[in-house]
Structure 1
Amino acid sequence: MEDTKKKIQETVEETDDITMEELLRESDIAHLTPGQIVEGVFVRKSPEGYLFDIGHKREAVVSGNEVIPQEILSAPLKLKVVHPYSAAHGGNPLLSWADVFRKEASLNLKNSFESKTPVEGAILRATKGGYMVDLGGGAEAFMPGAHALRKNDKPSGRKFSCLIIEMKGGNIVVSERLAADIVREKAAGAIFSKYAVGDEVDGTVVSLAKFGAFVDIGGIDALVHVSDISWGGVGKMDEHIKVGQKVSAKILSMDAAAKKISLGIKQMSGDPWKKVGEKYSVGSTVDCVTGNTTKFGVFCAIEPGVDGLLHISEVDWQNPNPDLAKLFPKGSGIKSKIISIDAAKNKISLSLRRLSPSPWEKAAEGIKAGNEVSGIVMRVTPFGAVVKVGDALEGTLHVKNLDWFKKVSNPATMLKTGQEIKLRVLEFDPQQQRLELSLKHLRGNPFEKYKKKTVLDCTAITVMPAGVVVEIEPGVEGFVPRNEITRKKGDEVSELIKPGDKLRGVVMESDATRRRIEISVRKFEIEQEKKLLAKYSAKRPGPSLNDLLDEI
């Protein structure tokens, strides 16, 4: 201390212009040591670098090679002494801001790693398997691609929060995804504390799925199910809601444990279906606007939130398969008739064709069950045929009604598309739009005409060992079994009967289900003989024909 005062005294004697206080401040430079941390206030920038006032007569210099952010120069900075007296800088002390900054940044990163606190980073460049990230203070880290929230990110300097997940020596690994999870976890906790079911919230649509839309409400993505977007039907999701759209919604449910929240956009307005029963009635005509078209029909907006379905079968009386997309471009205005309302299920059925009278109703007076009609075969199916009767009616000819006796397995063997045929109406119901037709009923029912015990004449058609196929009348055939041809035994059928022979017999069986009429010549002959015997004999007559048949 005495040496220092002596030097100062000598300097004072040599320089009258320098005060004692200035010399004392000048002497403070001698107390600066390399590595020492001092506080400096930025004065100005010079060609040499940054000039700082560190409480000494001489200003200290920070080399211009160090780039100090402009925004931090307004506050005092901690600086590290590099050289107390730098001849290259006019004898001023040479300091470093970067050394202090890097040391503090490294310490902050270590503390963030240990406390699992997210830090700020910026994409520097893409590398194999991920990205290199600038953490500031000269520190770089590697971020695996799977830990980035954006795929195929470009080295654009994008800034983001990340979590240090590994720190060994100079190697640092970070994760943007895990940092986002932490942020969202904190935000979610705040949301569950702040809101309750029934509260209204604002958010931004972040993504769309087939089942609904996800809305960011400030740290958690809540789901708006497709059924809760609109009171009316939702066809294509992006026609009702879009990514980036700001929406208001009502909280429908909250599950804090699962971190799930369900929202409803349509619940922000009253349910229009509650007043449907008051405003509309079955049979009334409404104006509506066509919406989405499907294979089975067209959805039509009757009013906001209230849609009705115009089924394909209710478009045209005569065309069962109209081109819906061509007939009903989206946004077209049409009139339609309400044919059913189910407000509880939010359903209204519409009809276009019922705006005009039904051809079934027009034909009600002219067509009756039992009438004979002409028709044209429109389609042949395995079950029969569809026959057009008149200008607009289509009736059904079932395979069972083609023939009384033949069991038709393939209707195409009897019917051809475009063929004109005569038919008998079995049933006509205009209300249910049902017309049942029959080909076989053009003739009377042979099983009712030729009942059991009926005596008839017939003609042999086919002779076979088992018996004879006979024609009772045109289109009506019967069968005489071998043992019912004659009482004689042992003779071959071919020796007894020839095709074309006339036979008289009695019906033993008349079964519509089996499509079979069986005849006995033998029993008829026995009856005839008994009648003759009874006529010429005083004895009690034997069993009658009815008695014999009852024994069958």
Structure 2
Amino acid sequence: DLGGVDGLVHITDLSWGRIKHPEEMVELDQKIKVVILDFDDNKKRIALGLKQLTPHPWDALDEKMKIEDQVKGKVVVIADYGAFIEIAPGVEGLIHVSEMSWSQHLRSAQDFLNVGDEVDAVILTLDREERKMSLGIKQLIPDPWTNINDRYPVNSKHTAIVRNFTNFGIFVELEEGVDGLIHISDLSWSKKIKHPAEFTKIGENIDVIVLDVNEDNRRLSLGHKQLEENPWDVFESVFNVGSVHKGTVIEMNEKGAIVALPYGVEGFAPNRHLDKEDGSKVKNDESLDFKVIEFSKDNKKIILSHTRIFQEARAKDKAKEASAARKEEMSTRNAVKKVKDNVEKTTLGDISALAALKSNMEKEAKAKLEKMSKEKKTTATKAVAKKEEPKAEEKKEEVKKEEPKKDDAKDDTKEEDK
């Protein structure tokens, strides 16, 4: 009450510091001095201030205060992104949540501080003109990445806490401020893990081995499967190409089926190798024999086939039949050859006798031919003679008939001569 005219002192103008209620600064009927800040003639309002009667605390801030100095204050406000610390009435600094811990995992400021807590902090930035200050509390403890190679050398084994999942791996915390990543491919030697949530849970402990230390990026590369010997060295001899194993289909997809094999290893059977002997397809959760048709130790891959088992069985049966036929044919050929060899041996033993026999037979045949030829000639001569006899007699008669004619002709000649 200004004497018939009312004025308002806003709560932010009562003190340079933060207050929750005006009662922290004034009481009813208390007489106070104020400063007129604004006057609205139209609305008949007067804005008043109490804190303006004293210098701004930033102006009174110790000139010697500088960056890296350690200060003490009280938490007055907490937000998700940080906490405001009052180091003097009206002078506040912000501690961002990233400056509360060396850990790389994002958290809320409530995980570290509460309103009213008295804290020590280090000045990180100081802007007197803008009246802003940033503080940090993690700087009061040693940086855990100092001498990190001495505490976490490569191949050293440790227990970590699972802090977060990603599609490509698990982020774990070895200690406050020391984080590491286990890539999804380094979780298991034999199981194909699609997401880390299949393997563990956030907040659980997990044993790890250090694979690599990246001090610049403050990140450790860790492994879990490397704590055990690589079973693929053994799998190479167990699941060699051509071997047959009992497997259970645990998942089907467009390309084929994932098959659980003995010793906790998994294999993959393409669709074309899932045909059964009766023409049907292999189904999920079905247990069958599978044949290893491809093994890759480097790629941790086993390719399986159920179809090959009965296909090759049929091929073996056909091969047996063909082999039996070939054996029978060879046996027959050998028997024939043996007979021929015996015949040849017998013939060779009697070759001289046969030659003599052949010569005698040729002589006898020649003699018979000559005899037959002579007989044929004699018979032909007799036949010709018989045929010629009548003709000879006819000639004789003709001669006899012609002799008188010759005599008459001679007489005629003689007469003419005369």
Sort the TM-score into its range (normalised by shorter chain): 0.5 to 0.7
Unmatched 5+ stretches in structure 2: 27-31, 316-418
Q: Distance in 2 between matches of 1:285 and 1:184?
A: 61
Matched residue count = 293
Deviations 1:294-339 (A, max 9, x none): 57777654344323456777666659514515x82xxx6x653223
CA shift in 2, pair 1:146/1:189, >3 Å: closer
Alignment partners' CA distance in 2, 1:299 and 1:184: 52
- Distance in structure 2 (CA, Å) of the matches to 1:417 and 1:283: 41
The residue that corresponds to 1:417 in the other structure is 284
1:231 aligned partner, one-letter code: W
Gap change, CA 1:366 and 1:246, over 3 Å in 2: same
In 1: Cα distance, 2:53 partner to 2:281 partner: 79
| TM-score, length-scaled by structure 2 | 0.53
Q: Which residue matches 2:99? A: 228
Equivalent residue for 1:212?
Answer: 82
Give the TM-score, by structure 1 length. Answer: 0.42
Structure 2: how far apart are the matches of 1:163 and 1:294? 58
What is the distance in 2 between the residues matched to 1:200 and 1:151? 22
Q: Find the aligned partners of 2:282 and 2:148 in 1 and give their Cα distance.
A: 50
Shift of 1:377: 1.5
C-alpha RMSD over aligned residues = 4.9
User: If each structure's strand is expressed as a fraction of its own residues, which one has the higher value?
Assistant: 1
CA 172–299 in structure 1, closer or farther in 2 if over 3 Å, else same: same
Matches of 2:19 and 2:258, distance apart in 1: 62
Distance 1:283 1:141, change over 3 A: same
**Residue pair 1:141, 1:172 contacting (<8 A) in 2 also:** yes
Residues 203, 247 of structure 1: 8 Å contact kept: yes
Offset at 1:390?
A: 1.6
Residues 1-400 of structure 1 correspond to what in structure 2 (within 5 A)?
Answer: 141-142=7-8, 157-159=23-25, 164-167=36-39, 173-174=46-47, 186-191=56-61, 193-218=63-88, 219-237=90-108, 238-256=110-128, 258-288=130-160, 290=161, 292=163, 301-309=173-181, 320=193, 321-322=198-199, 324-325=201-202, 328=204, 335-369=207-241, 371-398=243-270
Secondary structure in 2 aligned to 1:272?
coil
- Which whole-Å CA distance do the structure 2 matches of 1:151 and 1:197 have between them? 24
Distance 1:189 1:398 in 2: 78
Aligned partner of 2:352 in structure 1 is none
Q: What stretches of structure 1 of length at least 5 have no aligned partner?
A: 1-101, 107-136, 405-412, 445-472, 474-552
Q: Distance in 1 between matches of 2:181 and 2:53?
A: 46
- Asked if structure 1 preserves the Cα contact closer than 8 Å seen for 2:273 and 2:304, the reply is no
Q: Secondary structure of 2:216's match? A: helix
Report % sequence identity: 24
2:294 corresponds to 1:426:
yes
C-alpha contact (below 8 Å) 1:235/1:292 kept by paired residues: no
Distance in 1, Cα, partners of 2:104 & 2:72: 23
Larger radius of gyration: 2
Are the counterparts in 2 of residues 141 and 171 from structure 1 also a CA contact under 8 Å? no
After TM superposition, give the deviation of residue 292 of structure 1 in Å. 4.2
Kept after mapping to 1: 8 A contact 2:239/2:292: no
Summarize deviations over 1:220-252 as a string: whole Å, max 9, x none: 443333332212244542222333323333333
Query: Taking structure 1 as reference, are residues 211 and 144 closer, same or farther at Cα in structure 2, changes over 3 Å only?
Result: closer
Alignment of 1:429-508 (within 5 A): 429=297, 432-437=299-304
Letter in 2 for 1:202: K
Shift of 1:194: 4.1
For residues 267 and 158 of structure 1, do their structure 2 counterparts lie closer, same or farther at Cα, with a shift above 3 Å needed? Answer: closer
Q: Could you list the per-position Cα deviations for residues 516-546 of structure 1 after superposition, in whole angstroms to 9, with x for gaps in the alignment?
A: xxxxxxxxxxxxxxxxxxxxxxxxxxxxxxx
| Contact kept? 2:171, 2:179, Cα under 8 Å | yes
Q: Which has the higher helix share?
A: 2
- Give the conservation status (yes or no) of the 8 Å contact 2:274–2:282: no
Q: SS of 2:257's equivalent? A: strand
CA distance, structure 2, for counterparts of residue 206 and residue 294 of structure 1:
34
Give the direction of change, closer, same or farther, for the CA distance of 1:151–1:197 in structure 2 (3 Å limit).
Answer: closer
**1:196 and 1:152 mapped to 2: Cα distance?**
27
